[in-house]
Structure 1
Amino acid sequence: VMAATAAARVRAGTRRAPELWQMRWLLLFLVAEAAAATEQQVPLVLWSSDRGLWAPAADTHEGHITSDMQLSTYLDPALELGPRNVLLFLQDKLSVEDFTAHGGVFGNKQDSAFANLENALDLAPSSLVLPAVDWYAVSTLTTYLQEKLGASPLHVDLATLRELKLNASLPALLLIRLPYTASSGLMAPREVLTGNDEVIGQVLNMLKSEDVPYTAALTAVRPSRVARDIAMVAGGLGRQLLQKQPASSVIHPPVSYNDTAPRILFWAQNFSVAYRGQWEDLTSLTFGVQELNLTGSFWNDSLAR
């Protein structure tokens, strides 16, 4: 009986083996598809000379992926209520890591490759930062803007822009391909970004001198996949896209869980807990503590605690 049972198990296992392999290949395919999809997001930065187009709460956190439907809910109010002149700055490659690696540290524009962009966001009555937008939404953005404005896109550069006479009441969709992207292979990423930022600054200064109301967007065709600088992040300089740090705030080093390298980094300006209606500020007991108890923390490829 035992031999017959074992043989039956072997035969059953033999029959199920192709099914198991098919399942494994399907899982591998789905994982590969998911990995490819996660690489197809780019940041989108919006700002306007009009006030009240986006609520501050509309800013999304890094890690959230904005779909095409969500993007339309952000764009519709700006296109229906805001200026009729819309500028689309389109780079070849851009990722949120470009901002964290080459942007101004805690609002210091002197060391930033995005000085003009950051200044525009500071001065804009309305602005919106979307760290990760789905590639499909970006690929159809020009067509979407054209349909909403009822105007064909005009491919312009600085020379042709000077010759245009923009009218506040007539819709215009200006597509500006930032020039340094096509031949950037021999240039350092920071030089590419700085050159593009200078073009943005010149265009905005031109509109300002002519007192032309506008809404502008900066995005890219594909991500640049710039790797995060682990040393910079571990040193407490990591920040969200174009995030500003008030000069008066205390910068706490992160809580870091390591094995062979930093695996989990936890930041907070304030860490407090409530117990029986009483709040206790644990910030000074959590950050900058040499012997913090991290018992129970762990990290692997699928889970971090």
Structure 2
Amino acid sequence: MAETSGFGGAGFLTFIFYFCSSLGCGSGTAQVPVLLWSTDSFPGLAPPSAGHMTSMQELSLYLSSVFGSGSHNVLLFLQDKLSKDDFTVFGGVFGNKQDSTFKNLQAAMQSSSSSVTVPALEWAGPSAIPSLLQEQLGVSPLPVDAETLSHLSLPTSANSLLLISLPYCSSSPKSCREVLNHNDEIIGKVVSFLKAKHVPYTAIYTGLQPSRVISEASVSHQQVGRSLLQTAGPVPAPIMFLNGSSVCIMLWAQNLYISTSGGAVWVDLFTESPDLTGSMCNDQSSLLVLTYASGYRLSFAMTRQFYPVSARHWFTLDSVQLQINGTSQSFIGRSNIYAPAEYSFHCGSVSSFHDALLVPNTTTDQTQDWRLNFIDFQIQGFSLSNGTTFSYASDCAGFFSAGIWMGLLSSLLMLLILVYGLHMILQVNTMDRFDDPKGPSISVPQSE
């Protein structure tokens, strides 16, 4: 039986494509879909969250696990243009068999051992995917077509990358359907030829560029009243250290501020790309070393231990070392920088001077003004399950914050006032006797 892993599954793929098409997932950024299927089994891959756009770095990490060992015959069906709307507008690739434009593609994915679908891959240029495959396989792409493929002798002990170029339409929907149907027939011929020759293969179908890009109006110069859901710009990818083909350390922060002037001047290191040479990880300890071209070096040391009281493993961020031009300062993590070993640690602010979670180990005349301030900081050094995203985050914020305490005390004060008022009302008594106008009047004797 065919096995579908990761984003795969015909019913699930139908839902993803139609859902993203109707809601416009990530419509403000150019994106292309990527379909993969193979006669071999793919490693597991967690499905993306709704609206998530896969980056080229995430795709590169996954392909490195797919092509990590052995030889592979890779077919790259590269269409001039392709968007996820082509599957919904021209119909039937995942479910509608009565009016299907991609019958051969659908059959190939359903009969394969594994299939993976990336609904939205961030488009990084026309040559991004061919260059990525060339880097992963170590061979240059060889342009072929369905006719010349029968004359090729595919190697069995080396990697091969065959590039099949497919056209795209630019006029009426009717001609588009005909062009896409012709492309589907080419895919069917190539796949049928390889099956007849019993050649194992991995096929990738994607676009040279997106066929539809919905641009969003810029709001940078518009005056708006509320900005809760606005973002300042694209979110950078987390820093990942690989142990072989799997990620073992991940770090992300909105800002990695450092200062050597007592806070007068700050430098944000997260805007630079670091070198991870010197990093290491195992089951008991992890060390992430970030070396920047500007001369700065940050090292994060973490350990993993078993605590009998909680009957589980925990990891702690033991120290952060800052080194500049041969001079270094170590900051010790306080006891509240910890998380369960299978979780990640997150904190809105990790600093060494205000509500300090990092305390200087030793201070010299050269390092007494050194400060660290990490904004929206998240790190994980153990038990990375899928290798592309953080695990559940253990946050440093306490449950009873200042706002919660103010609300509880205010509510308690109002409750006491209400109880006191009810108590006073219940203590009000009526008169024992009333003057009856129909009977004799009440005589009140007066003394002279």
TM category, shorter: 0.5 to 0.7
Q: Distance between the aligned counterparts of 1:205 and 1:60, measured in 2?
A: 31
Q: Distance between the aligned counterparts of 1:156 and 1:108, measured in 2?
A: 31
**Is the counterpart of residue 204 in structure 1 residue 191 in structure 2?**
yes
Aligned letter for 2:30? Q
Q: Distance between the aligned counterparts of 1:111 and 1:83, measured in 2?
A: 38
Q: In percent, how many aligned pairs have the same letter?
A: 50
**Is the counterpart of residue 118 in structure 1 residue 101 in structure 2?**
no
SS of 1:80's equivalent? coil
Please state which structure has a larger fraction of its residues in strand: 2
**Is the counterpart of residue 175 in structure 1 residue 163 in structure 2?**
yes
Deviating beyond 6 angstroms after TM superposition, the runs of 4 or more aligned structure 1 residues are none
Name the counterpart of 2:43: 54
Following superposition, the deviation at residue 91 of structure 1 comes to 0.6
SS of 2:67's equivalent? helix
**Is the counterpart of residue 154 in structure 1 residue 142 in structure 2?**
yes
- Given that 1:66 and 1:133 are in contact with CA atoms closer than 8 Å, whether structure 2 keeps it comes out as yes
Following superposition, the deviation at residue 81 of structure 1 comes to 3.8
Name the counterpart of 1:101: 89
Point out the structure with max Rg over C-alpha. 2
Q: TM-score, normalised by structure 2?
A: 0.39
**TM alignment of 1:51-90, pairs within 5 A:** 51=41, 53-55=42-44, 57-60=45-48, 63-81=51-69, 84-90=72-78
Please state which structure has a larger fraction of its residues in helix: 1
Name the counterpart of 1:190: 177
Aligned letter for 1:104? G
- Given that 2:33 and 2:121 are in contact with CA atoms closer than 8 Å, whether structure 1 keeps it comes out as yes
**TM alignment of 1:154-303, pairs within 5 A:** 154-178=142-166, 180-181=167-168, 184-185=170-171, 188-225=175-212
- Given that 1:45 and 1:130 are in contact with CA atoms closer than 8 Å, whether structure 2 keeps it comes out as yes
Q: Distance between the aligned counterparts of 2:183 and 2:93, measured in 1?
A: 19
How many residues were matched structurally?
189
Following superposition, the deviation at residue 173 of structure 1 comes to 0.4
**Structure with more relative contact order (C-alpha pairs < 8 Å, separation 6 or more):** 1
In the TM superposition, what whole-angstrom CA distance separates every residue of 1:221-253 from its partner, at most 9, and x where no partner exists? 1222299xxxxxxxxxxxxxxxxxxxxxxxxxx
Aligned letter for 2:189? Q
Q: Distance between the aligned counterparts of 2:29 and 2:175, measured in 1?
A: 22
My pick for the range that moved more, 149-158 or 138-147, is 138-147
Unaligned runs of 5+ in 1: 1-35, 228-305
My pick for the range that moved more, 203-212 or 162-171, is 162-171
Unaligned runs of 5+ in 2: 1-25, 215-448
Q: Distance between the aligned counterparts of 2:143 and 2:36, measured in 1?
A: 19
RMSD: 2.6
Q: TM-score, normalised by structure 1?
A: 0.56
In the TM superposition, what whole-angstrom CA distance separates every residue of 1:116-163 from its partner, at most 9, and x where no partner exists? 111111111111100111111763211121122121110001122111
SS of 1:201's equivalent? helix
Name the counterpart of 1:44: 34
